[in-house]
Each structure stands twice: as C-alpha cells, then as structure tokens.
Amino acid sequence: MPTRKTGTVTGASLEQSNRGKKGGLTGSKRVTGETSSPIAETAAETVLDPTPESTAVPTPTSVVEKLQEIGNGTASAIEKGANVVSTVQRYTSKIAQTVQGTDQDRNPSALTDGKVNTSEILARASADIDQSIPQLDSGTATQRNIVIARQRNFVGVAINNTRLKQDLATLDNEQKKLIGMLIDGKTLDVNNEKKAVTYHRAVVGRDTELSKLEQDRELLVQQQIRTEGTQNQTELIRESEILKVAKMREDIEKQGYEIQAVQYEKEKIKQETEAKFTAGF
C-alpha cells in the first residue's frame, strides 16, 4: 500500500486568511506575505527550542517535526500550539521593533547574549487548540487545491477566449469602418468628378456666351455700317428731293410760258380774223 503524503502544519496554515491557498498548509511566505529579518527568525526558532543552553539555530526540519506533532495531536494540543504560535509572533514583533529602533548597532550581540530564558517563555506558552478552526487533512486539501487549480485554468481559458472574441469583434468593427471609409473615398471621387463636369459645362457655357458676344459685335458693326450708309443717303435724298422740287417749279413755269404762248397765238388769230372781217365789209 503506497504511503500517503502528509502536509506540514505551521502557524501560517492555522490562519483563516491562508486556508485554501496553494502553499497555505506549509505556511509558505509566498502565500502569507511575511518578510522577516534573519534576527527575527533566529529569535523565533530559539523560543521554540526547549534546550536552554543551545544557541544554535535549529534546522527547518526540527521545527517542522515539532509543529507537525502539535498539529497531529489532540484538540487540546492544537489549541495550545496556536497559543504558542501567537506567543512567538508577539516576541518576534517585539524583537523586530527593537531591531528597527537600534539604528546605530545592528549586531545581534547588542540585543541578546545568546541565552534563552526558558521559564519566561514557557510561562506565556500554551498548547490549547482553537476549536473554532475547522480541520482538513493534507490529502483532501491537495485534491481540492488541484480542483481549484483546474477550475482556475478553465476560468482563465474562458477569460482568454472571451477576450479573443472581443478582439475579433473589434477587428470586425475596424474592418467595417475601413470599408465605410473606402466607400466614402469613392463617393468623394464621384462628387469630385461631378464637380469637374460642372466646371467644364460652365467653361463651355462661358465660351458659348463669348461666341455670341463676338457675333453680336459683328452684327453691331454691320448695323453701324448700314446706319452710316443710311445717314449718307439721307443727304443725297435731301438733294434729290430739292432737285425734284426745282424741276417741278421749272415745269410749272414752262407750262405757264406755254399757256402764255397759246394765249398769244389765240389772240393773234383773233385779231387777224377780226381784221379780215373788217376789211371785207
């Protein structure tokens, strides 16, 4: 039968905010977001070491084994372990504040002589278990984390697929805008051609009017020539009429002379006739 792997229980895994997270069972700093200095870590591990005279930093394996024993114990042991973790965190916070306040000397010997006051530490230590925190074995936690990871994969793929469709919709809209702009460009070309035709028609109309103007000018010149000829004829007609009047006068005068001659001949014949009658008697 294969050996089932068990997770490592740490103080960070007991916090409600880290439950269900990948690495939350082992209290990974990538999950918890803890940033501690080497001095604070050394002090915390020294508090957990039951040997008063030991000044060496315990290996992570020894700490894991001790905390694992606490996590796998009874409910009372879990509660006491939580209190121990809380106590360690308080001491760690105090040490960190001391380190931050000592700006002139960062040497660890300035803070401690390397000895651990076990009685003082154990006086505040507790192994009682907090019953309000539900438990979850490492196998189930691993399986659920795998399911959650797969679900995250599905959600991530769905999100990427949705974004891809959004990009496709954006591309389709941009292509439609491009087609519309091309149609607008062709429409402007047609409008420009219409304007060009209108321009050429205006040019032809202008030239036609200019031709008519030239024709009217020629007709005007011709009319002016006719008018000048008519004006010249007017004087001749006047002279002709004068001559006609003079001729008529001469004819009238001639006719008077002719009448006088006829009257003279008549009178002469009358006198001769009377002379003959007088001579005969």
pLDDT in tens, 168-207: 999 999 999 999 999 999 999 999 999 999 999 999 999 9
Point out the least confidently predicted range of 36-40, 73-77, 223-227.
36-40
Residue 268 lies in a domain: no
Q: What backbone torsions phi and psi does residue 183 show, to the nearest 5 degrees?
A: -65, -40
Q: Going by C-beta distance under 8 Å and a sequence separation of 6 or more, which residues neighbour residue 128?
A: 76, 79, 80, 82, 83
Point out the least confidently predicted range of 88-97, 126-135, 185-194, 214-223.
88-97
Domains held by the chain: number: 1
Residue 261 lies in a domain: no
Residue 192 lies in a domain: no
| Domain around 115 | 12-136
Say if CB 83 and CB 125 are below 8 A apart.
yes
Q: What is the pTM of this model?
A: 0.34
pLDDT at 82: 60
- Encode pLDDT of 121-131 as tens digits: 888 888 888 88
pLDDT at 119: 86
Average pLDDT, the chain: 75
pLDDT band at 250 (very low <50, low <70, confident <90, very high): very high
Say if CB 88 and CB 11 are below 8 A apart.
yes
Residue 231 lies in a domain: no
Residue 173 lies in a domain: no
- Encode pLDDT of 1-53 as tens digits: 444 444 444 444 445 555 555 555 444 444 444 444 443 344 334 433 444 34
pLDDT at 42: 41
Compare 105 and 56 and report the one with higher pLDDT: 105
Helix residue spans in 125-280 (DSSP H):
138-280
Q: What backbone torsions phi and psi does residue 225 show, to the nearest 5 degrees?
A: -65, -45
- Encode pLDDT of 129-174 as tens digits: 888 989 999 999 999 999 999 999 999 999 999 999 999 999 999 9
Compare 96 and 133 and report the one with higher pLDDT: 133
pLDDT at 46: 40
